[in-house]
Structure 1
Amino acid sequence: MTPTDDLFAAMRAHVVEALAALLPELPPENFARVLVEPPRDAAHGDMATNAAMVVAKAAKLAPPKLAASLCEKLSALPMVVSATPAGPGFVNIKLADGFVRGVVPAVLAAGPAYGDGPKREGGPVNVEYVSANPTGPMHVGHCRGAVVGDALALLLRKAGFDVTREYYVNDAGAQVLALAYAAYWRYLQALGTTMTEEDYAAATPSGLQYRGDYLVPVGVALRQIFKDTLSGPGATPADPSLWLDTVRDFTVEAMMAAIREDLAALGVQHDIFVSERQVVSEGWLEKAEATLTAKELIYTGVLEPPKGKTPDDWEPRPQVLFRATQFGDDVDRPLRKSDGSGTYFANDVANHLAKIDRGFPQLVQVWGADHGGYVKRMQAAVAALSDRKVSLDVVLTQIVHVMKNGEPVRMSKRAGTYITLRDLIDEVGKDAVRFTMLTRKADAQMEFDLDKVVEQSRDNPVFYVQYAHARCRSVLRQAGDPALADLASAPLDSLSDPAELALIRRMAGWPRTVEAAAVAREPHRIAFFLQDLASDFHVLWNRGRDDSTLRFIRAEEPEATKARLALVAATATILRSGLAVMGVEPVEEMR
């Protein structure tokens, strides 16, 4: 193990090597579940391993006895100060301070690439997020999924995965049809129609009376481009044959243009946009049915009544069903309704087959929590279509409650009934929105307090992390912005204060944090890590205010100054790296 390695990964290699020496009769696969992680209590050391516990059964030894033998092996390593057994078979490990200091030049040598994972085998990962219906402005409900998905894609790339970021445009179905009717009504208004809103409602099919003031500009644009050609004889909401396709396509494109602008304002990017209508028109539903039929996974049957339904409420009817229960779902799922038309689920099955056909062995999708009941059926479909060769991971995001002055914010000036994404960005800025959305696990509800996210205090994690980076940059500017390569060669023996060593030990955990967060699909772990790193740096900064010997720049101690500047530069490097994963710009100074 060298100081340039990820310390946790390197120590795991040493633990496995020690186990292999103690138990030469065991094949390597017995060591697959060995972990090396930070201990729950930092007072126990720098690392802890479960090695003895997970190997003891195969070795036919008591875990405490194996742990004691493992401690003897590990204690002989030059970089280990102590290895002690704990509990039912854990081993706590403390590293030598001199070895831990080697993290600093490793960070400086790697720069932003410190913590990058190795290139992953097994093909690209498709990360689908946002995928909002193109029926209006993006609102705060879409915002969290957009940020989580974008940060997750950035995190997976940091961890070494080849990632394609996808937006699936839900431009088929009743909601888009309703959008077209509403846009046509606004078009008629732009032409000066005498048709009242009541007339429009009466002429529009039931359930398609969709309204939105933001469609007024779309109606005006339709008039400017198509003049009155869409309102000729017979062209009414009651007879859409002369206008529906034109108005629908135009309106969807207008809504998607607005959505792209909103996403760009949030710093969210996608590599590809896939149209649901195109997926359907290309015959992917029929291909999916043919695939499942060939595997004898489709049949015609009658589903049991849903929970809560009485016999009087339930009308059994034959439907084309997918044997989802063979792949872990609770019930089989309909692909076609009794009238032969495809279900909403069927279109999603088609979309996932198209993804599989494009060569993605790993699918990751970010959905709203209200779609939680949909997870099992889609995972069952992906498993069936791919013969269990393709995985589907779903990250659920809970709702966000926006607060101001201690009260819920319920109304948007632009949308009228909800808070738009632009409202949020205009109020507090892109970076505050992105960072705050990642300060809690995605499936936990959160309050977005408009006052707190702009508050300059320790209680505001956005400010707290940005302030740490600004302080780092202030120190380095004061020192003339020394070259990282020069700082990387600085002797570090003078970094001996507990606060200095605590900061270095925190930095040592960055590669492991990236790996663990990527595997768990949890980008909020990056925000947590940055808050902890910022806290360690602020502690050190405050120590220097109270103890002049710990100040970063001391003209009378050039070697110690250089060592501390190296520490500051390494801290700034990891703060920038973590903020980049979150899609947040680091600040040079606080204003």
Structure 2
Amino acid sequence: MNLFADIRALVVKALTDMTESGVLPGGLDLGNVTVEPPRDPGHGDMATNAAMVLAGPAGARPRDIATALAARLAEDPRIDQAEVAGPGFLNLRLAASVWPDLVRAALTADGFGRSAMGQGAKVNVEYVSTNPTGPVHVGHVRGAVFGDALASLLAYTGHEVTREYYINDGGAQVDTLARSAYLRYLEAHDLSVDWPEGSYPGDYLIEVGEALKSEYGDSLVGKDEGEWLPIVRPFATDRMMDLIRDDLAALGVRHDVFFSEKSLYGTGRIEAAIADLEGKGLIYKGTLEPPKGKIPEDWEPREQTLFRSTEYGDDVDRPIRKSDGAWTYFAPDIAYHYDKIERGFDQLIDVFGADHGGYVKRMKAAVAALSENRVPVDIKLAQIVKLWKDGEPFKMSKRAGTFITLRDLLDQVGPDVTRFHMLTRKNDAPLDFDFDKVLEQSKDNPVFYVQYANARIHSVLRRAREAGIAVDESALAGAVGALEHEAEIGLARKIAEWPRLVEIAARTHEPHRVAFYLYDLASDLHALWNRGNEEPALRFFQEGDAATSQAKIALARAAGVVIGEGLGILGVVPVEEMR
């Protein structure tokens, strides 16, 4: 049951009737007609902008349209009042019978709020994709949580989602990893080594060195790099990916596909992607002007092979092959996205770190060119997270050597707190992660506040069971009664917003909206609970009155159903008891 969608359908039908009867002219576009919660709940349960958006095209006064529309809507039994306000806004108050029906729907639906809006569209969500050179660090955590929640949100709304990790194992950093692992291998043989600048001296490679010793004994000691590098590189990369998978699993993040950049080289796949662009007249030889500001590593004042990315909205054309014939770093990324398109995805979503802002336009241009504007790509940037503890920046990890790892974070606060808090801001807004505040038991801590609401609901359920009252969903659905107090109706209103909120969040690719909504829902639940402390008739459990208890607990349990659904999207486990 999507109450907002149902009432919008009612508004659209009324407008269609008005057109057929000559009140409105034909050919009006009703696509921008909305039904949404009013800014001030005192104005009603819902509001529609229909008269305002149709007045101009219809050549009529907004109030005249609103008045005629109100008369038609008032004929429906779900509408108690339809009031014209201001220049032509229309506020709707729903009949009292609507709210018990809503509570029943929340209790009995198979996934209340789930939507088929995606219509099975195939969506590829690529996220994390950190270089396989060490553990996942805090700089990757926000993108991991955001991408995972977005993938869950899209799956929840009827999309066919593939969660993908792009392994950057084709660049020089993997050679650096191999050389660092080889030094740990030598140390495992009690040999003294010197760590060159730019290597990876973290303790996490000690285990890799030991594993190399166990696998190869001393057969690699004293060998030339040309002999041991081809052996150590894949060995170390595989071990790092095992470590990364374990780290992500601890956060509740799992991918369907791990795509190797290295698989693009020497297989003709890069050449095929570039040939596709060349066939469209988008590849040429040329010399670029030096860019303003910091000059990127792949720019050189010589003739290069360029991609006409400016034809698809980029600021400048981009090099894809250097003058010496080597591919630029952009070329394999083009080939990778070409592969995604060839796999038949209807939409691509890339979650990048904040330092990839300059990469957005060129990647969008490449996908638009390769797919001939058929496959949209949405590139989301995950802004940095600043860690604080005891009022000071959190110190670096000794195990990693130079950065704070995901494991450090989870050891401090656990996966649920980490995931929820990472979604309390929009992905492109900076985020402070204060270890003291995220563990604080107060209204100011969103994850605690939402979990506390769920725990309160389950405390009522336990008390009812102890009193012999049936509180399974079917029993509660049959016991739902009228909601009379404004605080009860207010909670029902918020529950009604859930299906609409889910679709908006999925459409805009903004899972943080779910976290915001859950906080507001929890606030309404706590407000009703606290009113019950002052007015016993509002308490969910009514001593000695099983029927009334069931009716009131039904509303609380409906809120709990939504909290459970929302936390599930965020990848957070709902708690039933807080100690």
The alignment's TM-score, normalised by the length of structure 2, stands at 0.95
State the alpha-carbon separation in 1 of the partners of residues 403 and 52 from structure 2. 53
Tell me if the contact between 2:103 and 2:480 (Cα under 8 Å) persists in the aligned partners.
no
Tell me if the contact between 1:101 and 1:501 (Cα under 8 Å) persists in the aligned partners.
no
Task: Give the equivalent residue in structure 1 for 2:49.
Answer: 50
Aligned length: 569
Is 1:559 aligned to residue 547 of structure 2? yes
The structural deviation recorded for 1:390 is 0.3
Over 3 Å counting, the alpha-carbon distance change for 1:83 and 1:279 in structure 2 is farther
The superposition leaves residues 377-403 of structure 1 with CA deviations (integer Å, 9 ceiling, x where unpaired) of 111111100011101011211111111
Tell me if the contact between 1:410 and 1:417 (Cα under 8 Å) persists in the aligned partners.
no
Matches within 5 A, 1:295-306: 295-306=280-291
State the alpha-carbon separation in 1 of the partners of residues 329 and 242 from structure 2. 25
Is 1:258 aligned to residue 243 of structure 2? yes
Matches within 5 A, 1:477-516: 477-480=462-465, 482-493=471-482, 495-516=483-504
Task: Give the equivalent residue in structure 1 for 2:356.
Answer: 371
Q: Could you list the runs of 5+ residues in structure 2 that have no partner in the other structure?
A: none
The structural deviation recorded for 1:407 is 1.1
SS in 2 for 1:23: helix
Matches within 5 A, 1:273-312: 273-308=258-293
Task: Give the equivalent residue in structure 2 for 1:204.
Answer: none
State the alpha-carbon separation in 2 of the partners of residues 585 and 62 from structure 1. 52
- What amino acid does structure 2 have at the position aligned with 1:486? A
Tell me if the contact between 1:122 and 1:361 (Cα under 8 Å) persists in the aligned partners.
no
The match for 1:333 among 310, 314, 318 is 318
Give the alignment's Cα RMSD to 1 decimal. Answer: 1.8
- What amino acid does structure 2 have at the position aligned with 1:465? V
Task: Give the equivalent residue in structure 2 for 1:217.
Answer: 207
State the alpha-carbon separation in 2 of the partners of residues 191 and 66 from structure 1. 85
The structural deviation recorded for 1:315 is 5.5
The structural deviation recorded for 1:370 is 1.2
The match for 1:535 among 505, 523, 538 is 523
Is 1:458 aligned to residue 456 of structure 2? no
Task: Give the equivalent residue in structure 2 for 1:523.
Answer: 511
Task: Give the equivalent residue in structure 1 for 2:398.
Answer: 413
- What amino acid does structure 1 have at the position aligned with 2:554? A
The superposition leaves residues 513-546 of structure 1 with CA deviations (integer Å, 9 ceiling, x where unpaired) of 1100011111111111111111111111111111
Tell me if the contact between 2:454 and 2:560 (Cα under 8 Å) persists in the aligned partners.
yes
State the alpha-carbon separation in 2 of the partners of residues 139 and 244 from structure 1. 26
Tell me if the contact between 2:138 and 2:405 (Cα under 8 Å) persists in the aligned partners.
yes
- What amino acid does structure 1 have at the position aligned with 2:15? L
SS in 2 for 1:136: coil
Task: Give the equivalent residue in structure 1 for 2:220.
Answer: 230
The structural deviation recorded for 1:121 is 3.0
Q: Which is further off, 508-517 or 282-291? A: 282-291
SS in 1 for 2:284: strand
Over 3 Å counting, the alpha-carbon distance change for 1:120 and 1:304 in structure 2 is same
State the alpha-carbon separation in 2 of the partners of residues 27 and 385 from structure 1. 40
State the alpha-carbon separation in 2 of the partners of residues 109 and 434 from structure 1. 29
The match for 1:568 among 543, 556, 565 is 556
SS in 2 for 1:168: strand
Tell me if the contact between 1:404 and 1:450 (Cα under 8 Å) persists in the aligned partners.
yes
Matches within 5 A, 1:39-188: 39-111=38-110, 113-118=111-116, 120-121=118-119, 123-188=121-186
Q: Could you list the runs of 5+ residues in structure 1 that have no partner in the other structure?
A: 202-206
The superposition leaves residues 215-237 of structure 1 with CA deviations (integer Å, 9 ceiling, x where unpaired) of 122112111111122235xx24x
SS in 2 for 1:97: coil
4+ residue segments displaced more than 4 Å: 25-29
State the alpha-carbon separation in 1 of the partners of residues 120 and 536 from structure 2. 53
State the alpha-carbon separation in 2 of the partners of residues 453 and 164 from structure 1. 31
State the alpha-carbon separation in 1 of the partners of residues 143 and 326 from structure 2. 31
State the alpha-carbon separation in 2 of the partners of residues 75 and 119 from structure 1. 29
SS in 2 for 1:138: coil
Tell me if the contact between 1:20 and 1:26 (Cα under 8 Å) persists in the aligned partners.
no
- What amino acid does structure 1 have at the position aligned with 2:399? R
SS in 1 for 2:92: strand
SS in 1 for 2:265: helix
Matches within 5 A, 1:310-459: 316-459=301-444
Over 3 Å counting, the alpha-carbon distance change for 1:176 and 1:88 in structure 2 is farther
The superposition leaves residues 287-338 of structure 1 with CA deviations (integer Å, 9 ceiling, x where unpaired) of 111100111111111112201379xxx9521111111111111111111112
Task: Give the equivalent residue in structure 1 for 2:16.
Answer: 20
The structural deviation recorded for 1:19 is 1.1
Over 3 Å counting, the alpha-carbon distance change for 1:280 and 1:70 in structure 2 is farther
- What amino acid does structure 2 have at the position aligned with 1:489? G
State the alpha-carbon separation in 1 of the partners of residues 506 and 368 from structure 2. 22
State the alpha-carbon separation in 2 of the partners of residues 46 and 281 from structure 1. 62
State the alpha-carbon separation in 1 of the partners of residues 358 and 307 from structure 2. 17
Task: Using the aligned pairs only, state the percent identity.
Answer: 55
Q: Which is further off, 66-75 or 131-140? A: 66-75
State the alpha-carbon separation in 2 of the partners of residues 42 and 339 from structure 1. 67
State the alpha-carbon separation in 1 of the partners of residues 88 and 312 from structure 2. 37
The superposition leaves residues 98-155 of structure 1 with CA deviations (integer Å, 9 ceiling, x where unpaired) of 21231100001115x1000016336311111111111111111111111111111111
State the alpha-carbon separation in 1 of the partners of residues 558 and 120 from structure 2. 33
The structural deviation recorded for 1:417 is 2.2
Over 3 Å counting, the alpha-carbon distance change for 1:74 and 1:8 in structure 2 is same
Q: Which is further off, 526-535 or 281-290? A: 281-290
The structural deviation recorded for 1:192 is 3.3
The structural deviation recorded for 1:90 is 2.9
SS in 2 for 1:380: helix
